[in-house]
Amino acid sequence: MSDLLSTLNPAQQEAVRHFEGPALVVAGAGSGKTRTVVHRIAYLMRERRVYPSEILAVTFTNKAAGEMKERLVRMVGPQAKELWVATFHAAAVRILRVYGEYVGLRPGFVIYDEDDQNALLKEVLKELELEAKPGPFRAMLDRIKNRGEGLSAFLKEAPDYIGGVPKEVAAEVYHRYQKALRSQGAVDFNDLLLLTIELFEGHPEVLRKVRQRARFIHVDEYQDTNPVQYRLTRLLAGEKPNLMVVGDPDQSIYGFRAADIQNILRFTQDYPEARVIRLEENYRSSRPILQVANAVIEKNALRLEKVLRPTKEGGEPVRLYRAPNAREEAAFVAREVVRLGGYQGIAVLYRTNAQSRLLEEHLRRAGVPVRLVGAVGFFERREVKDLLAYARVAVNPADGINLRRIVNTPPRGVGASTVGKLADYAQKAGVSLYEAFCSAQQVLSRPQPVLAFVELLQELMEAAFESSPVAFFEQVLEATGFREALREEPDGEERLQNVEELLRAARDWEVEEGGSLSEFLDSVALTARAEEPQGQAPAEAVTLMTLHNAKGLEFPTVFLVGLEENLLPHRNSLSRLEDLEEERRLFYVGITRAQERLYLSYAEERETYGRREYTRPSRFLEDIPRELLWEVGAFGEAPAPPSHPPAKPEKALHQGFKGGEKVRHPKFGQGTVVAAMGEEVTVMFPGVGLKRLALRFAGLERLE
């Protein structure tokens, strides 16, 4: 047997051996998904003689892409460097850098992040004389672009008011934002995929060329793809697809980012000839943890059947703690962490960021070092963004947003009123803000500071195309007195360390990737915030993070806290059954992060919006059979079986229906109960969909 297969289980081997045609790999949590994909790519190269330049692997983070490529280089040698391993957005940037002019992009286009978007939206709102904040409009942009539905389709379903203004006015904000974006030679993150689709659909000859470069396509985390990523995958795969998608519907938790679970559920409808392979052997968690996980997730109707099977024997029981209030819950976590020791292998997971405060307070009070995930990302820090803004303007002088950012950073005597006069001139003359700066002598009575700044920019523009990224940043620091200005600030030492870290990041990139300043900026723009350096956290520290941030990670010990109605499931998810099922998947993801030890906890009282409220245990705790949970006391006393099951929510599930029961309806046939509240149940019928039924009239027959 090939050494590529000898260490794999039979299901993994089947996936690796698959050659041509579409395939769906349903990969459960901890089932060796990445290992399987890596071995499959290596198998294509070594055993099937596929050129590495014909293989595309799409991942959801740059970190995952880098790790995959490193493993392949170790397995098959330097030729693996020719593989195309990238995120959707990184792949789109690569394509648009070559063919972007076909869809009206300038060669040096820059990619705007959230801060840049907010700044541009503020300008648009000011231009329209609207007293509104940019947040709701950025959310509108994200929804329109992530779903690929267009403005008119969005407006049909949108509320009458967006961000405090009529939706017709919001539509004008959208149009002006897009126009301003293009005039500044910029795109936002979401535009990257839409423009690539526009390119492929409008220029079939370009699509043919890209398909030749992507004959064998792998898409990881397919359950998290949104409608635009789905369309892009379909276009790349073509009519004779060698497409392998890997994912798990039970871990689809990004609906708020427009991820559509139906993309993976309907894969065999899109490709009826597709091979389906299930990876069910779990190498991560102990048997008691997997028993709880399986019991929870089987209650969902929107899923592909699978049962995680442990490869580890034994294991501690899953512990349940019922706290009188949220403070006592946090105190319990701190006491147990101290008792367990070995802080690095412990994670505390919660539904909302607001829950972190009490936990951090009690852990620090107990002398436990803490690593809080989700703080300000490295590339979001002010001094780092300032230096990157210099680079963006040097590459693309039309970028008015970043030009405004650096015009008086460090201070050089160019105030807001001066910039305002130049901006008014630019608007009336129909020129860019940079061109207005160049004409400062015609506009200002005291143009010298602006003209000196323009002279500096012209020097930096030359350096942008002649120097390496590190040399460019060193030139900026030297020419502007940037370091000296930071030293005068109260937290200047810390900010200077961040500047040095940026230089290190650029130096590392030059060694590993190499290329121009523009390519380095692409790399920075595509780096997900969760992957960025999180500061000087102790090596031995307890990790605090939301359940969404925990996806893809694993820890020997996990505390899953706040298991209450209106927290998990969240209050915003209770009106739609699809949202409720996603909340159950979020709980399942949290459970399956644990390798050896799992604690579940809830509080009977919690402060919400400044008011103390009595809470109810999460309905998801009812999905777990009593014998699988061991209730512990406030000081971690020896576990004992719970004296009674968790209290049921008000309006208890009717007539014994809890969700998961198989039933038959006289019209719709056999289905699965998804939820039951009051006098109604909701049932998923295959081929029909979700139906909400009144029990007294439905005529449902229980099948088990």
Tens-digit pLDDT profile for residues 304-348: 889 999 998 889 999 999 999 998 999 999 999 999 988 889 999
CATH number at residue 150: 1.10.10.160
pLDDT band at 648 (very low <50, low <70, confident <90, very high): very low
For the segment 201-212, the average pLDDT, to the nearest whole number, is 95
**Between helices 416-429 and 448-466, what is the axis angle to 10°?**
70
| pLDDT greater at residue 653 or residue 515 | 515
- On whether both 403 and 491 belong to a single domain, the answer is yes
For the segment 161-176, the average pLDDT, to the nearest whole number, is 91
| Residue given tokens 């980012």 in the structure block | 257
Find the range with the poorest average confidence among 321-335, 364-378, 493-507, 622-636. Answer: 364-378
User: Residue 198's domain spans which residues?
Assistant: 1-96+192-278
Handedness of CA 369, 374, 378, 384 (dihedral sign): negative
Residue 367 has pLDDT above 80, yes or no: yes
Q: Give the number of other Cβ atoms within 10 Å of residue 412's Cβ.
A: 15
- On whether both 273 and 296 belong to a single domain, the answer is no
pLDDT digits (tens, 9 = 90+) for 215-271: 999 999 999 999 999 999 999 999 889 999 999 999 999 988 889 999 999 999 999
Annotated binding residue 28: yes
Say what the alpha-carbon torsion angle 205, 210, 212, 216 is, to the nearest 10 degrees: -140
- On whether both 369 and 238 belong to a single domain, the answer is no
pLDDT of 376 reads 56
499 within some domain? yes
104 within some domain? no
CATH number at residue 407: 1.10.486.10
Extract the tokens encoding 400: 């008015």
- On whether both 77 and 197 belong to a single domain, the answer is yes
Annotated binding residue 33: yes
- On whether both 297 and 261 belong to a single domain, the answer is no
Residue 84 has pLDDT above 80, yes or no: yes
Residue 205 has pLDDT above 50, yes or no: yes
| Residue given tokens 């990619």 in the structure block | 111
Q: HEC states along 339-381?
A: HHCCHHHEEEEECCHHHHHHHHHHHHHCCCCEEECCCCCHHHC
- Main-chain phi, psi angles of 165, to 5 degrees: -125, 155
Annotated binding residue 59: no
pLDDT of 655 reads 56
Work out the mean pLDDT of the chain and round it to a whole number: 88
640 within some domain? no
With a CB cutoff of 8 Å and minimum separation 6, the contacts of 638 are none
- On whether both 131 and 199 belong to a single domain, the answer is no
pLDDT of 609 reads 56
With left for phi above 0 and alpha for psi between -120 and 50, is residue 228 left, alpha or beta? alpha
Of 261, 278, 295, the one marking the end of a domain is 278
Residue 636 has pLDDT above 70, yes or no: no
614 within some domain? yes
- Burial (CB < 10 A; 0-12, 13-18, 19+), residue 660, is middle
Write the DSSP assignment of 26-49 as a string of letters.
Answer: EE-TTS-HHHHHHHHHHHHHHTS-
636 within some domain? no
- Main-chain phi, psi angles of 13, to 5 degrees: -60, -40
Distance CA 155, CA 175 (A): 13
Of 278, 295, 322, the one marking the end of a domain is 278
CA-nearest of 183, 197, 192, 180 to 117 is: 180
Annotated binding residue 471: no
CATH number at residue 600: 3.40.50.300
Extract the tokens encoding 492: 């200047």
With a CB cutoff of 8 Å and minimum separation 6, the contacts of 334 are 359, 362, 363, 365, 366, 368
Q: Give the number of other Cβ atoms within 10 Å of residue 110's Cβ.
A: 26
**Which amino acid, residue 237?**
A
Annotated binding residue 342: no
Structural contact between residues 604 and 615, judged by C-beta atoms closer than 8 angstroms: yes
Q: Is the peptide bond before 569 cis (omega within 30 degrees of 0)?
A: yes
pLDDT of 458 reads 94
pLDDT band at 698 (very low <50, low <70, confident <90, very high): confident
Residue 646 has pLDDT above 50, yes or no: no
626 within some domain? yes
Of 467, 497, 526, the one marking the end of a domain is 526
- On whether both 49 and 197 belong to a single domain, the answer is yes
Strands 680-685, 669-677: pairing kind: antiparallel
pLDDT of 690 reads 75
Annotated binding residue 662: no
CA-nearest of 426, 427, 393 to 409 is: 393
pLDDT of 265 reads 92
Overall number of domains in the chain: 5
Residues with catalytic function: 33-34, 220-221, 251, 593
Chain CA centroid to CA 219, Å: 16
pLDDT digits (tens, 9 = 90+) for 23-41: 999 999 999 999 999 999 9
Percent pLDDT > 70 in the chain is: 93
pLDDT of 102 reads 95
Annotated binding residue 481: no
Find the range with the poorest average confidence among 192-206, 233-247, 505-519, 676-690. Answer: 676-690
- On whether both 431 and 472 belong to a single domain, the answer is yes
Write the DSSP assignment of 553-572 as a string of letters.
Answer: --EEEEEE---BTBBTTBGG
Annotated binding residue 133: no
- Main-chain phi, psi angles of 665, to 5 degrees: -110, 140
pLDDT digits (tens, 9 = 90+) for 420-474: 999 999 989 989 999 999 999 988 888 899 999 999 999 999 999 989 999 999 9
650 within some domain? no
Q: Is the peptide bond before 166 cis (omega within 30 degrees of 0)?
A: no
Please report which helix (H) or strand (E) contains residue 674, including its range. Answer: strand 669-677
| Residue given tokens 């999180």 in the structure block | 534
Burial state string for 179-200 with b = 16 or more CB within 10 A and e = fewer than 16: ebbbebbbbbbbbbbbbbbebb
With left for phi above 0 and alpha for psi between -120 and 50, is residue 358 left, alpha or beta? alpha
Distance CA 455, CA 85 (A): 41
Q: Give the number of other Cβ atoms within 10 Å of residue 214's Cβ.
A: 21
pLDDT of 35 reads 93
Residue 61 has pLDDT above 70, yes or no: yes
pLDDT of 149 reads 82
pLDDT of 531 reads 44
- On whether both 155 and 167 belong to a single domain, the answer is yes
Distance CA 286, CA 556 (A): 10
Q: What residues are paired with 55 via a beta bridge?
A: 216
- On whether both 511 and 559 belong to a single domain, the answer is no
Write the DSSP assignment of 266-295 as a string of letters.
Answer: THHHH-TT-EEEEE-EESSS-HHHHHHHHH
How long is the chain? 704
For the segment 112-131, the average pLDDT, to the nearest whole number, is 90
522 within some domain? yes
CA-nearest of 169, 153, 190 to 526 is: 190
pLDDT band at 525 (very low <50, low <70, confident <90, very high): confident
pLDDT digits (tens, 9 = 90+) for 139-167: 899 989 998 888 999 999 888 888 888 98
- On whether both 244 and 321 belong to a single domain, the answer is no
Extract the tokens encoding 80: 């693996």
Structural contact between residues 20 and 54, judged by C-beta atoms closer than 8 angstroms: no
- On whether both 460 and 442 belong to a single domain, the answer is yes
Distance CA 425, CA 653 (A): 66
Apex 351 CA angle, 230 and 677, nearest 5? 85
